[in-house]
Amino acid sequence: MLGLGILKGFYITAKNLVGSYFTTERLTTLEYPEVRAKLPPASRSFPFLVYDGDNPVDGLRCVACRICEKECPPQCIYIVPERDEKGKVMKKPRIFDIDYSVCMGCQICVEACPFDSIKMDNIYEIAVRNRYEPLLMHREQLSKPNTYFHEINPVDAIEVDTRLAEEKRKAEERAKAAAAAKAVAAAKAAAATPAAPADAAQTAKSAPAPAPAPTPAKPTTPETK
């Protein structure tokens, strides 16, 4: 019968219209600024740097090995290692910039990082009015505490923490064993010098330093909640 298909269509749309008052399955819209979508833990937008403890400078896990800089497909990471007074390269970044306007959120830097230092954030409200400066994130804006990482992605954070603790324990054991072996080999029980731990990751808690000099906060810096 001609017209049956159209009537069927009317029936379907009417069913959806009425059904949307009874089941939430037929409604998918969120009233955005008031109601926020709960992002899954794995969701990613832009990378940030994890630091342990309270001091964002000393607790930074990053050792400025520059692997992520090499692996980054759009080349949006820029790292300059810190140097001490003698000009020797230290295992810390002096400049660590990520250009969020170039970054495409592909997570390759996270996979490449051997120190679990760079992780993916899930912020999405970072629109700015100026193209040039505000989206170029510097180390101070990128450094976020480990507790924040636990907040946004508890699954990964716990896994990373246990792994790092395990590595640290093993390194300490290795250092102890090396020290003991050295002591035995030297056969000078009194004058044994403990070897420095061979692990490069500086997870050693330094004494809480006085608060670092406050960096001039840019007015356009997006505030993460």
Contact between 199 and another protein by CB under 8 A: the answer reads: no
Is residue 133 near another protein by the rule CB under 8 A?
Answer: yes
Triad 48, 52, 56: Cα angle to 5°? 65
CA nearest 110: which of 165, 143, 72? 72
Least distance (Å) between residue 191 CB and another protein: 38
Question: Is residue 12 part of the contact set for another protein (CB under 8 A)?
Answer: yes
Write the interaction track for another protein spanning residues 80-99; mark x where CB under 8 A is met and - where it is not. x-------------xx-x-x
Binding track, positions 20-59, relative to another protein; x by CB under 8 A? -----xx-x----------xx-xxx------------x--
6 vs 189, beta carbon nearer another protein:
6
Rank residues 111 and 172 by Cβ distance to another protein and give the closer one. 111
Considering the complex, what minimum distance in angstroms separates the CB of residue 143 from another protein?
14
Answer yes or no whether residue 112 interacts with another protein by CB under 8 A. Answer: yes
Give the count of alpha carbons within 13 A of 153, CB side only. Answer: 20
> If binding is defined by CB under 8 A, does position 220 make contact with another protein?
no
Query: Would you say 119 and 43 are in contact if contact means Cβ atoms under 8 Å apart?
Result: no
From 213, 219, 223, 225, residue interacting with another protein (rule: CB under 8 A): 213
Binding site for another protein (CB under 8 A): 2-6, 8-9, 11-13, 16, 25-26, 28, 39-40, 42-44, 57, 71-73, 75-78, 80, 94-95, 97, 99, 101-102, 104-108, 111-112, 120, 131-133, 135-136, 138, 213, 215
